Chains A and B, each alone.
Chain A
Amino acid sequence: MTTAPVSPHDDLASLEAGLDALEAPVEPRPSPLRKAFATTWPPAVAVALLLLAWELAYRAGLEPTYALPSPADVGLVLLEQLQDGTLPAAIGTSVTRGGLGFVVAVLVGTPLGLLVGRVRAVRRGIGPVLSGLQSLPSVAWVPAAIIFFGLGEGAIYAVVLLGAVPSVANGMVTGIDQVPPLFLRVGRVLGARGLSSARHVLLPAVLPAYLGGLRQGWAFSWRSLMAAELIVSSPELGLGLGQLLDQGRLLNDMSLVFAGILGILVVGIAVELCLFAPLERRVLRRRGLLVGR
C-alpha cells in the first residue's frame, strides 16, 4: 500500500534547485567607488580638523614658536628634508633595518610558535615566558643590548628581535589553540596524517591568527626599532628615523622632530595599508568571515 505519490527524479532536481536558490546566502556588494569614498572621507576630515586646530593654536600664540611651530613651518622643513635626501635616506635605513629584523623575527618566531603550540613539554616550559615577554616594553632591552653588543647594528637588531619574536610566536600558538577539533577529525577521516595533515588542515586553519601575529610582530619591530635608534646612535651608524628624531632634539628643532614623527607614522600606516590589511581582508573574505565589509 502506498499513499505517497511517486516523485520522478526531475521533480527532485527542480525542487532542490528551487531550495538552493531560496536558501543560498545573498551577500551585499557595495560598489568599489562608493566604498572607497566612504572609507576615505572620515579620516580626511579628521586630519583636516586636526591641522586646523593646530594652526589656530599656533596663531593664538599658546606656546613659543620653537616649541609649537606652525603646520606650514613643519611642512617646509619636511619638504627641505625630502629634497636634500635626508628624510628619504633615513626612511630607507630604518625600513631596511625594520624589514630585515621583521623577516628574521618571522623565521625564528614561526617554528618557535609551532613548537610551543604542538609540543606540550615545550609549551609548559616556554609558553608563559613567551606571553610574559610580550608585555615587556622592548625599550627595556636597550641598555642590555648596548652593554652586550656595543653601540652598533647588533644592539638595534637584538632589540627588534626581542620585541617581535614573541608576537609572531604567540600568533602561531593562538592559531593552533583555536583550530576547531572538527577540522582535525575531518582531516583524519579523509586520510590526512602527520605532514599531510599539517599541510592541508592545520596550517590553513591557523592562517588568520598567524597573520594577526605577523601584523603585531611588524608593529613591535617598528616600535622597538625606533626605541633602539633613539638611544643607539653613533657617527659610524647609518642615520635612521629614530636618530633623525634625536638629532632634532639636540638641535632643539621642533619642526625636524615633527617631520621625523610624520615619517615614522607614514611608514607604519603604509605597511599596514599596503601589506597587512589587504592580506588579512583577503584571507577573511575567502572564509566568509568578512561578509559585506
Chain B
Amino acid sequence: MSILTTLDPRRTPAPAADPGVAVRLSGVTKRFGGGAVVLDDVSLTVGDGEFVCLLGASGCGKSTLLNLVAGLDAPTAGTIAVPGGRAALMFQESALLPWLTASQNVELALRLRGVGRRERRSRAGELLALVRLEGAGAKRVHELSGGMRQRVAMARALAQEAGVLLMDEPFAALDAITRDVLHEELVRLRASQALTVVFVTHNVREAVRLGDRVVLLSSRPGRIAREYDIAIGSPRRIESPEVARLSVEITDDLRAEIRRHGGQP
C-alpha cells in the first residue's frame, strides 16, 4: 500500500510514469476505524484534461473519495496516484477565510506554495480576472454573494496549479439561476485552462450537463456501479433534450441502486 498523493508544495511533480493520466485509483478501499467499509475496491482512471462526474446517493463515499485523492486521508487498501503531484479541492461551502479579502484568499494559496510577494499580488489579480471578479479583490467574504464566493474559491483552487481540480458539490448551496451561470463559467474555464476535473454531485442533470464521463457509485459500500460516456457536443445546456434523455436513463439506474437498500427485491 502506498500513497503517491501529496500536498507538499515543495515536492516536484513525479515524472509522468503514466502518460496522459491525471488520477489513477487502483483497488481503493476505505474503512474508518473498525467500522463499515465506505469505499470498496474502487478503480478509476481520470485522463489529463478529462471532466469526470461522480454521482451517487447518500453513503456512496463520494466525499471520502475526494478526500483520499486530495491527500486529506489515507486509503485502507489500494493505491492512489496523482502524477501531477497535487490536487486542489473545492468544497460545497466556499470555505473562504473570512478574515481575508477575496484577493488575500487567493494570495494565501500562492504564498503557501512559496510564491514571492509581488508575484502573488499580480497573479491573484489575474486569477480573479479569470473568474471575472476584477475589481472585487478588496472585498471581504461577507460582501460577496454566494456565486461570487464560489468563483473566488475557484480562483484560489486554480492558484494551486494542481494537476487535478476536485470539486465536492461546489454548487449545491446556490440558487438555480446562479448555479446555471456557474456551470457555464466552469465549462469555459475548463476549456481555456485545460483543467482536469473530478466533480462530485448528487444532481444527475448537473453531472450530465458538465461531464465527459459520469461514474455512478452504489452506496454502502461505495462501489462503481456503472459508467456513462457523455457524447453530447457543446454547447450543452441543462435544458437540452439530450441532457434530459440521458438524465432519465441514469436516474433510473440510480433509483435501482437505491432500491436495493430498501430490503425488498
Contact = CB atoms under 8 A, between A and B. Distances in A.
Interface of A: 1-4, 6-7, 9, 12-13, 15-17, 19-20, 23-25, 27, 182-183, 185-186, 188-192, 196, 200-201, 204-205, 207, 283, 286-289, 291
B97 A204 contact: yes
A19 B112 CA distance: 32
Contacts, number: 110
Which range holds the interface residue count of chain B? 35 or more
Interface in B7-30: 7-9
B143 interface: yes
Chief secondary structure at chain A's binding surface: helix
B184 A20 contact: no
Interface in B118-153: 132-133, 136, 140-148
A282 B99 CA distance: 11
A191 B132 contact: no
B112 A200 contact: yes
A4 B178 contact: no
B212 interface: no
Interface in B130-183: 132-133, 136, 140-148, 156, 160, 177-178, 181
B145 A191 contact: no
Q: Which 5 A-B pairs have the closest CB atoms?
A: A288-B142, A23-B145, A4-B237, A191-B112, A287-B98
Contact of A288 (B8, B98, B237, B240): B98
Chief secondary structure at chain B's binding surface: loop
A200 B91 CA distance: 19
A19 B132 contact: no
Given A27-B143, A190-B156, 15 more contacts: A1-B242, A12-B188, A19-B145, A20-B148, A24-B143, A24-B145, A183-B95, A185-B95, A186-B95, A186-B97, A190-B160, A191-B160, A201-B97, A288-B140, A289-B142
Contact of A12 (B70, B108, B111, B181): B181
Given A12-B185, A20-B145, A191-B8, A2 B233 contact: yes
Contacts of B99: 204-205, 207, 283, 286-287
Contact of A186 (B91, B184, B188): B91
B72 interface: yes
